[in-house]
Amino acid sequence: MMSQFDLSGRVALVTGANTGIGQGIACALAEAGANIAAVGRSEASRTIEIVQALGRRCVSFNADLSSTAPVQSLVDHIIATFGRIDILVNNAGIIRRADALTFSEEDWDAVLDTNLKTVFFLCQAVAKHMVGWSNQYGPRGKIINIASMLTFQGGIRVPSYTASKSGIGGLTKLMANEWAEKGINVNAIAPGYIATSNTAALREDATRNRQILDRIPERRWGLPTDIGGAAVFLASPAADYVQGHILAVDGGWLAR
């Protein structure tokens, strides 16, 4: 059974892999055997150190995913470097906070462009490559999008982020519907409250931190490593019959 989770020889493209959830996913995939193309705005030096210590190959690719401009050249560069892409993890994203009554068009466009538009066209570019070698009975291409609790809930003061993550949920299902028969699995992970730099302000606010912990049955913030296990599962042959699913890794938040 453990061989069903073996990713030896696979190549995983992970966006936002230089820190936080992206780094946790990249390192977990590497521990399962995958080589890593780490994409981000800055050099993923620490991720490279960890992955190489696991005996895997890791190459950092700098790209600004706030627009679709670098998508095709990025995919071409990674394929030229590694020979193929077996796994795509769309983790990179941004958030802007303001009341819906005053939310700016600039902040709306910035979040939707990064979190939804670029994600779709990166999926498209990688899927076009995957259908060239993947088939129903052989190794399948794996696309994993990072959704959110706000894929299911509305939240407050994050209208563009909520819209983008709701869109990720819908696109994940649509792409699974279209690409399953082409040998590609498309699923998503919805992290709960994870301790990263993006949530530092929430954790430092004693009142808000207590409100969050009181809602989570686990009574703790999640860690990037908690997301890594889910990513390994969805990237592995063990999940070959899982399609269009949004896997919540939230300590029980949604169960409340």
pLDDT of residue 214: 96
Q: Which amino acid is at 83?
A: G
pLDDT of residue 6: 96
- Under 8 Å between Cβ of 171 and 231: no
d(CA 95, CA 108): 10
Please, what are the domains in the chain?
Answer: 2-250 (3.40.50.720)
Two tokens at 163? 């819209």
pLDDT of residue 135: 55
Please list the residues that pair with 7 across neighbouring strands: none
| Cα separation values, 110 from 4, 24, 62, Å | 39, 25, 19
| Cα separation values, 231 from 24, 28, 146, 214, Å | 10, 8, 10, 27
Q: With CA atoms as reference, report the closest residue to 98 among 156, 17, 16.
A: 156
Strands 246-249 and 184-191: parallel
**Longest alpha-carbon distance in the chain:** 53
What is the per-residue pLDDT across 114-167, written as a single tens digit (0 to 9) for each? 999 999 999 999 999 999 765 544 589 999 999 999 999 999 999 999 999 999
Q: Is 193 marked active-site? A: no
pLDDT mean across residues, the chain: 95
- Under 8 Å between Cβ of 142 and 172: no
Q: Answer yes or no: is pLDDT of 2 > 80.
A: no
Neighbours of 4 (CB within 10 A): 11
- Under 8 Å between Cβ of 185 and 143: yes
pLDDT of residue 137: 47
Which is catalytic among the residues 137, 161, 193, 241?
A: 161
The pTM is what?
Answer: 0.96
Please list the residues that pair with 190 across neighbouring strands: 248
Neighbours of 216 (CB within 10 A): 18
What is the per-residue pLDDT across 31-51, written as a single tens digit (0 to 9) for each? 999 999 999 999 999 999 999
Would you place residue 1 in the very low, low, confident or very high pLDDT band (cuts 50, 70, 90)?
low
Q: What percent of the chain has pLDDT over 90?
A: 93
